[in-house]
Structure 1
Amino acid sequence: MSSLPERSEIDEEYKWSIGSIYASDEEWEDAYESVRERIDDVRAYEGRVTESAATLRELLETYEDVMREVATVTQYANLRSNEDTRNQEYQAMASKAQSLSAEASSASSFIEPELQQLDWDDVESFIDEEPALAEYEHYFDDALRMKPHTRSAEVEELLADLSEVTNAPSETYSMLSDADMTFPSVEGPDGEEIEVSQGNFTTLLQKPDRDFRRRVHESFYEEWADVRNTVGTTLAKSTKKDVKLAEARNYNSAREAALDGPNVPVEVYDNLVGTVRDNLDSLQRHAELKRRALDVDDLEMWDVYMSLTGEEGPDVSYEEATDMVVEAVAPLGEPYQRRMAEGLESRWVDVYENRGKRSGAYSAGTYDTQPFIMMNYQDDVSSMYTLAHELGHSMHSELAKEAQPWQYANYEIFVAEVASTVNETLLTQHLLENADSDELRLHALDQYLERFRSTLFRQTMFAAFEQQIHEHVEDGKPLTPDVFDDYYGGLKEEFYANAHVDDHIRREWMRIPHFYYNFYVYQYSTGISAAAAIVERILDGGEDAAADYRDALKAGGSEYPIDVLDIAGIDMTSADPIESAIGVYDEYLGRAEELLDL
């Protein structure tokens, strides 16, 4: 029987170098206690933020010192807890760190309300008195911009104190899906029992044996049916939380509140959903091509992840993947390429799945640590693309940290998903031109098409679902599992009009953790649209265009995300990048049709 290894069975070279943060858990504990005591240093400035330019400068410097250490303490604990969600010691550590973060946020919640007592003339006067404050000019602008949606210092402190409570639906869902749920084993084509997991589910749906895929699909979603009411409750409460917090800050909707944080116009969201829905014929062309390639009468939901070749892709070891990804980013410049290679050698990546490990993949880190990439690498083409994706995030963080002070090193997700998808696009270009086999070349083309399908179309479908369920609550209606099924199933039927939407897939919403992230997923779709346009500029314009893109990455959070993308030559307030991305998708569908002679 195929089974997952325990973490102790995985070689150290395939684990992230978490010791680069703290050498031991005891050292973490010392750091935790030290920074917890220093939180009062920030509280000491309450009521004094605008007392003088010198006081404001001192406060901001103290706040930075404390919050940088809080972030590092929290990061270490989260990474440890994600290594094995069954480990109660590390879950307790993560809980302590979250409480610390909430305490620090509460202790500093007075800063922006007090800053908002100033007007821009006052800010300029303070900068004249203390030139060091000029570094915070964008921060001041952002704080004053949010003035209509910031409550009194007392209310802001209360909202900050409640963060542990308001995060409860997401944390409950995570513990249920990653730690407590176990999925049945399914008999494989050769008779071997194969354990289904969150990490390998979509990989198993790429196996050639169609009946095996059906069994995986049905057994996986039947397991979710057993926790239907629990997951329905967590998502309903999470959605209501978004709505209530938006109301508390005087927004008209949860969506408006979520997009106003990074200062992204709501029209960008509407523009995305509308443009994609107007072009569903391209998605359905892909579905029909897949049906013909698989030679089936009806495309079923357990066929959707299958390769157009009808075969498993070639095995790609982790070492092979790192080589190809590093080679692929050459158009971004030698320093970028070299830094990525050094990071891989420095064990940025936690590579393989183990029992209890958090599902999925992400890139994390703080201003004072190296990047950390979590993966559940499966030795396939898809995993290679995921590696490229997460390395895009990590390199973005490295460039921003090197170029920006602490307060601007973090960047909005709206921009982050561009960096990750540029790497994916460059990987496709590289493999189409340099792969040493037609098999790999064809699977790279197929993978790119799948990335478009799952990113531009699937994430936009998710965005439409998020909007529907939030508006449902805003209309005063209760959310139930049946309501979720109806909304999600209706969208699935709209997007996959020429495929069979079965009852199991109507509950797919239950397995999507991003629905707890409050209007997050649309940024994957805008990201792939912007990335396609950026890569086209780089391949046409060479080093000048690559330099524009690197400058955009280096900007970090020093400008609003729409303006950051403008540095790279992309206007996301128009439909042009989205329509261009769909044009690329259609072009590659045509190439696939030619290669497959379909």
Structure 2
Amino acid sequence: MVKKRDEIVEALTWDLTTIFESDEAWELELKKLQKGLEEVEHFEGHLLDSAQSLLKITEAELEFSRAVEKVYVYASMKHDQDTQVSLYQEYEAKATQLYAKLEEKFAFYEPEFLELSPEDYKRFKSEEPKLEQFSHMFERLLAKKAHVLSQKEEKMLAAASEIFGAAAETFEIFDNADIKLPMIKDEKEREIQLTHGNYTSLMESKERKVRKAAYQALYSNYEQYQHTYAKTLQTNVKVHNFKAKVRGYSSARQAALASNFIPEKVYDKLLEAVNKHLPLLHRYMKLRGKILGLEEDLKMYDVYTPLSHLDYKFSYAEAIQKLQEVLKVYGAEYAAHVEKAFNERWIDVAENIGKRSGAYSGGGYDTNAFILLNWQETLDDLFTLVHEMGHSMHSTFTRENQPYVYGDYPIFLAEIASTTNENILTERLLADTEDEKERFAILNHWLDGFRGTVFRQSQFAEFEHEIHKADQEGVVLTSAFMNQLYAGLNEKYYGLSAAENPEIQYEWARIPHFYYNYYVFQYATGFAAASYLAETIIHENGEAREKYLEYLKAGSSDYPLAVIARAGVDMESSVYLESAFAVFEKRLNELEKLVERGVHL
């Protein structure tokens, strides 16, 4: 039975008193910030009065942002540990409102700053040496200048932001709140309600009839409402293309990637390398069919069920020991931080009634890098702990080595630290066991992770780019057009006939990431870079490790490609991608040999 929050032993909960000693202390800080933000009205219109004014207002904005972040972290984590507590529902709402007020009060900053001439910028920096610490932040803002409109036009676009976001919001509400999915039968022949929440576990069922029923029931919904889903996605794509056009970008992709200073070449190199190596995915699909006894009849609803029958369990204590052994590869400094995370209760471990589902690494510049888990003692849980610890160590090293202005990192770099840990864990687990059934389970887990992250997210990225290009060229994004496009891509990627898997043509309709504006490709590049880095850290000398730690410490003090280059990865080349696919092939070869020996039986 799942316990109530107050029944969880303290050692398995995070210690949020390190942020605020009490709720009363949080409430006092909230009131202080609410009052303080009401008193910054006089800043607007005066940012560029002098070098000293630029410094004063910049420091004030960052100080408020830092303080509001701390307030929000406490409120959101208190809410996440038990979402049923009305007090913390209220706290999170108030913290969110405070963030909105912060953005409102300093909305003038960027448009005013972009009126700064090159001559005045140079003069200001010479007159006030303290401005030098913000040079990279200023450079990033100035790089947008060619794509920023007049203040009147910018205000019009800002005023229309709610309208621009309506398609994505409509999709979310329709898909999550209004749609009621069909009833199906589970493994015990019980009638259950299919939901987005239980769909994944049903697709992992050992019973094929359950997988098929869940799959067909889910996609019957997307077939029924395909025209509505097409309209919301089409509208969202039009918003992306419209914004890119009015800002002077050649495409929505260029505009989206420019926000993180990522050249389009990175995107193209990814898709080029993935398409080149699709025969590896086809081999894995054939092997999956063989293991499942479906060599001539493998369907898309057979792609997610685990192939191993091994019940690979880890207690939390065993997981801690394994994680600490694995992450020693980074050296004493990293290991000390990991030990601190366990000793100082950064981690909320156990599931309890009302607790937010899933897992994450969170926190702010002035807090510990907390981790939320819902521990179930599975192999997946071990990988989740190692993954989230990667995020937390990235955050910790960044915050210890960078000032607040550069004390975070872009999403393009975020998944690299976490998945590098996963890859190193895989290497260690394989090195530590000679048991063939354990090796089979570990290899299956890693290959499925690679398939779902590198191949699948690249498929999404290819589809996303094609529909943006099509709309830009005047093609109407009807459901028929997107069904045909998606079905063709899915057949190309998986090697499974589109005609024999008719439901999959509607999958585009259920993917929320297609509303995120060229976001998904970063999962694939991140996993591939992590695979490359894990190989170099494990198999090369200590220099690779030291370079990796430099990347962890850099935060956003430089452009993303320059930061990851410190770790030895050139993301404009295909070297890291070729290395990742080489690891995939090596592990696929081993799994094939284990199958030949009947280990899967």
Task: Please indicate the TM-score interval, normalised by the length of the shorter structure.
Answer: 0.7 to 0.9
In the alignment, is the contact (CA less than 8 A) between 1:187 and 1:194 conserved in 2? yes
2:106 equivalent in structure 1: 108
Residues 28-65 of structure 1, C-alpha deviations (whole Å, 9 max, x = no match): 55544432333345542222222222111111110111
Which residue number in structure 2 is paired with residue 543 of structure 1? 542
1:141 to 136, 139, 142: 139
Q: Deviation at 1:582?
A: 1.0
Corresponding residue to 2:266 among 247, 265, 268 = 268
Q: 1:253 to 1:318 in 2, by over 3 A?
A: farther
1:569 counterpart SS class: coil
Match of 2:300 in 1: 301
Please tell me whether the aligned partners of residues 107 and 157 of structure 1 are also in contact (alpha carbons under 8 angstroms): no
Q: Deviations over 1:356-412 (max 9, x none)?
A: 766654333221222244445554323322332222122111110110011111111
Give the alignment of 1:311-322 within 5 angstroms.
Answer: 311=309, 313-322=311-320
CA contact (8 A) 1:110 1:157 kept: no
State the AA in 2 paired with 1:578: L
Partner Cα distance (1:484, 1:88) in 2: 43
Contact 1:35–1:66, Cα closer than 8 Å, also in 2: yes
Residue of structure 2 in register with 1:291 after alignment? 289
Q: Match of 1:44, SS?
A: helix
Aligned-pair CA distance for 1:247? 3.3
After superposition, residues 7-46 of structure 1 pair within 5 angstroms as 16-18=14-16, 20-22=18-20, 28-46=26-44
Q: Equivalent residue for 1:489?
A: 487
- Residue 363 of structure 1 contacts residue 372 of structure 1 at CA under 8 Å; is this kept in 2? yes
CA distance in structure 2 between the aligned counterparts of 1:125 and 1:251, rounded to whole angstroms: 30
Q: Do 2:79 and 2:89's aligned partners in 1 also have CA atoms closer than 8 Å?
A: yes
**What is the CA deviation profile of residues 162-202 of structure 1, one whole-angstrom value per residue up to 9, with x for unaligned ones?**
55665555556556666776766754435567776545533
Q: Using a 3 Å threshold, how does the CA distance of structure 1 residues 87 and 304 change in structure 2: closer, same or farther?
A: farther
Between the aligned partners of 1:526 and 1:44, the Cα distance in structure 2 is 45
CA drift of 1:455 comes to: 1.1
SS in structure 2 at match of 1:302: helix
Please say which of residues 333-342 and 295-304 is displaced more in the overlay: 333-342
Q: How much does 1:13 deviate?
A: 5.4
CA distance in 1, matches of 2:480, 2:233: 13
Letter in 2 for 1:521: V
Gaps of 5+ in 1: none
> Residue type of the partner of 2:573?
S
Aligned equivalents of 2:376, 2:218: Cα separation in 1: 19
Distance (Å, rounded) in 2 between the aligned partners of 1:483 and 1:91: 43
Q: Separation in 2 of the partners of 1:339 and 1:149? A: 42
User: Residues 425 and 72 from structure 1, CA distance in 2 versus in 1: closer, same or farther, beyond 3 angstroms?
Assistant: same
The CA distance in 1 between the partners of 2:91 and 2:467, in whole Å, is 34
Contact 1:110 1:153 in 2 (8 A): no
CA separation of 1:235 and 1:431: change in aligned 2, threshold 3 A: same
Q: For 2:423, which of 422, 425, 429 is the aligned residue?
A: 425
Match of 2:276 in 1: 278
8 Å CA contact 2:346–2:371 kept in 1: the answer is yes
Q: Where in structure 2 are the equivalents of 1:473-484 lying within 5 Å?
A: 473-484=471-482
Distance, in Å, in 2 between the alignment partners of 1:83 and 1:37 is: 29
Residues 202 and 464 of structure 1: is their aligned pair in 2 closer, same or farther, counting only changes over 3 Å? same
Cα pair distance change 1:319/1:503, threshold 3 Å: farther
CA distance in 2, matches of 1:249, 1:521: 23
* Paired amino acid for 2:261: N
Residue type of the alignment partner of 1:334 = A
Larger radius of gyration: 2
**Deviation digits for residues 74-130 of structure 1 (CA, Å, limit 9, x no counterpart):** 444544665677888766765554444344223323323333333555434333322
Distance 1:348 1:226 in 2: 46
- With over 3 angstroms needed to count, the CA separation of the structure-2 counterparts of 1:39 and 1:549, relative to structure 1, is same
**2:55 & 2:223 partners in 1: Cα distance?**
55
* Aligned residues of 2:219 and 2:504 also touching (Cα < 8 A): yes
The one of 237, 240, 264 equivalent to 1:239 is: 237
Mapping for residues 60-99 of structure 1, pairs under 5 Å: 60-79=58-77, 94=92, 97-99=95-97
**Cα offset, 1:10, TM superposition:** 6.4
Relative to the length of structure 2, the TM-score reads 0.87
Structure 1 residue identity aligned to 2:449: R
Over 3 Å counting, the alpha-carbon distance change for 1:480 and 1:367 in structure 2 is farther
Greater alpha carbon shift after TM alignment, 479-488 vs 147-156:
479-488
* Aligned with residue 127 of structure 1, among 125, 128, 140: 125
Most deviating of 468-477 and 485-494: 468-477
Alignment-derived partner of residue 446 in structure 2 = 448
Q: 1:100 to 1:552 in 2, by over 3 A?
A: same
Structure 1 distance, partners of 2:593, 2:331, is 33
In structure 2, relative to structure 1, the CA distance for the partners of 1:518 and 1:47 (3 Å cut) is same
The 3 A distance-change label for structure 1 pair 203 and 321 is farther
Q: Distance in 1 between matches of 2:155 and 2:79?
A: 28
Structure 2 CA distance for aligned equivalents of residues 298 and 268 of structure 1: 37
| Aligned positions, number | 595
The reply to whether residue 392 of structure 1 matches residue 352 of structure 2 is no
| Alignment correspondent of 2:516 | 517
* Counterpart residue number, 1:574: 573
Contact 1:74 1:98 in 2 (8 A): yes
| Cα displacement string for residues 261-311 of structure 1 (whole angstroms, at most 9, x for unaligned residues) | 1111011111111221122111111111111122212211121123344x2
Structure 2 residues without counterparts, runs of 5 or longer: none
Segment of structure 1 superposing worse, 70-79 or 382-391: 70-79
In 1, Cα distance between the equivalents of 2:496 and 2:334? 43
Aligned with 2:206: secondary structure? coil
Question: What secondary structure sits across from 2:461 in the alignment?
Answer: helix
Q: Percent sequence identity over matched residues?
A: 37
- Please state whether the residue corresponding to 2:44 is helix, strand or coil: coil
Q: What is residue 328 of structure 1 aligned with on the other side?
A: 326
Normalised to the residue count of structure 1, the TM-score between the two structures is 0.88
Partners of 1:85 and 1:499 lie apart in 2 by: 44
CA contact (8 A) 1:85 1:91 kept: yes
Q: Over aligned residues, Cα RMSD in angstroms?
A: 3.4
> What is the one-letter code of the residue matched to 2:539?
D
Structure 1 residues 303 and 316, CA gap change in structure 2 (3 angstroms): farther
List aligned pairs for 1:150-165, cutoff 5 A.
150-156=148-154, 159-160=157-158
Q: CA distance change for structure 1 residues 440 and 168 in 2, over 3 Å: closer, same or farther?
A: farther
Which residue type is aligned with residue 42 of structure 2? Answer: A
Q: How far has the Cα of 1:7 moved from its partner?
A: 6.7
Q: Within 5 A, what are the aligned runs for 1:407-418?
A: 407-418=405-416
- After superposing the two structures, state which structure 1 stretch, 117-126 or 221-230, moved more: 221-230
Match of 2:504 in 1: 505
